[in-house]
Structure 1
Amino acid sequence: MDAGDDIRGPAAGTAPVPLSVLDLVTVGSGSTATEALRTSVDIARLAERRGYHRHWVAEHHSMPGVASSSPAVILAHLAAHTERIRLGSGGVMLPNHAPLVIAEQFGTLEALAPGRVDLGLGRAPGTDGATAAALRRTELSRSPSGTGGTPIHSGADDFPQQLAELTRFLDDDFPDGHPYARIHAVPGPVQATAAGGVQSPARPPVWLLGSSGFSARLAGMLGLPFAFAHHFSAQNTIPALDLYRDTFRPSEVLDAPYALIGVSALAADDPREARRQVLTGALSMVRLRTGRPGLVPTPEEAEAHEFSSMEREFVDSWLVNIVHGTPDEVRTGLDDLQKRTGADELMITANAHGGEARLRSYELIADAYGLPDLAG
Structure 2
Amino acid sequence: MLRLSVLDQSVACAGQPEGEAILKTVAMAEHCERLGYHRFWVSEHHSHPTIVGSAPEMLLAAIAMKTERIRIGSAGVMLPHYAPLKVAEQFRILEALAPGRIDLGLGRAPGSDGRTSLALNPMAAERPAQFPNDVQELMAWVSGTPLPEDHPFAPVTARPRGETSPEVWMLGSSLYGAQVAAHFGLPYSFAWFFTDGQGGPEAIQIYRDRYQPSERFPEPNAGICVWALAAETEEEAQHHYSSRARWQLYRDRGRFTPLESPERAEGASYSETEIVRMDELRAKAMVGTGAQVAEKIRALAERLRIEEVAVVTWAYDEEARRRSYELIASEFGMTE
Q: TM-score, normalised by structure 2?
A: 0.94
C-alpha contact 1:36 1:355 (8 A) present in aligned 2: no
Return the alpha-carbon distance in structure 1 between the equivalents of residues 271 and 82 of structure 2. 39
Match of 1:324 in 2: 287
* 1:294 CA displacement: 1.4
Match of 2:47 in 1: 62
C-alpha contact 1:208 1:226 (8 A) present in aligned 2: yes
Task: Indicate yes or no: 2:124 matched with 1:155.
Answer: no
1:288 to 222, 245, 251: 251
Cα gap change, 1:104/1:213 in structure 2, threshold over 3 Å: closer, same or farther?
same
Return the alpha-carbon distance in structure 2 between the equivalents of residues 313 and 237 of structure 1. 25
More helix by share: 2
Deviations 1:256-294 (CA, angstroms, capped at 9, x unpaired): 111110011110012112112222122223323423211
Secondary structure in structure 2 of the residue aligned to 1:231: helix
Return the alpha-carbon distance in structure 1 between the equivalents of residues 328 and 291 of structure 2. 8
Secondary structure in structure 2 of the residue aligned to 1:111: helix
Bigger-Rg structure (1/2): 1
Return the alpha-carbon distance in structure 1 between the equivalents of residues 181 and 279 of structure 2. 32
What percentage of residue pairs aligned between the two structures are identical?
42
Match of 1:183 in 2: 156
Match of 1:37 in 2: 22
User: In the alignment, residue 103 of structure 1 is paired with which amino acid?
Assistant: A
Return the alpha-carbon distance in structure 2 between the equivalents of residues 156 and 321 of structure 1. 32
Return the alpha-carbon distance in structure 2 between the equivalents of residues 77 and 285 of structure 1. 30
Cα gap change, 1:201/1:129 in structure 2, threshold over 3 Å: closer, same or farther?
same
C-alpha contact 1:174 1:181 (8 A) present in aligned 2: yes
* 1:18 CA displacement: 0.5
**Equivalent residues in 2 for 1:1-376, closer than 5 Å:** 16-138=1-123, 153-170=125-142, 171-188=144-161, 200-233=162-195, 234-373=197-336
Return the alpha-carbon distance in structure 2 between the equivalents of residues 185 and 164 of structure 1. 14
Return the alpha-carbon distance in structure 1 between the equivalents of residues 309 and 326 of structure 2. 16
Q: CA RMSD in A?
A: 1.7
Cα gap change, 1:361/1:115 in structure 2, threshold over 3 Å: closer, same or farther?
same
User: In the alignment, residue 333 of structure 1 is paired with which amino acid?
Assistant: K
Secondary structure in structure 2 of the residue aligned to 1:235: coil
Q: TM-score, normalised by structure 1?
A: 0.85
Deviations 1:21-51 (CA, angstroms, capped at 9, x unpaired): 0000111112123322222122111111111
Return the alpha-carbon distance in structure 2 between the equivalents of residues 280 and 241 of structure 1. 31
C-alpha contact 1:263 1:322 (8 A) present in aligned 2: no
Deviations 1:195-229 (CA, angstroms, capped at 9, x unpaired): xxxxx242101100010111111211221100000
Return the alpha-carbon distance in structure 2 between the equivalents of residues 300 and 351 of structure 1. 15
Structure 1 unaligned residues grouped into runs of 5+: 1-15, 139-150, 189-199
User: In the alignment, residue 134 of structure 2 is paired with which amino acid?
Assistant: Q
Match of 1:145 in 2: none
Cα gap change, 1:310/1:96 in structure 2, threshold over 3 Å: closer, same or farther?
farther
Return the alpha-carbon distance in structure 2 between the equivalents of residues 318 and 135 of structure 1. 34
Deviations 1:112-141 (CA, angstroms, capped at 9, x unpaired): 001100000000001111111111124xxx
User: In the alignment, residue 82 of structure 1 is paired with which amino acid?
Assistant: T
Deviations 1:167-202 (CA, angstroms, capped at 9, x unpaired): 2222351233432122221123xxxxxxxxxxx242
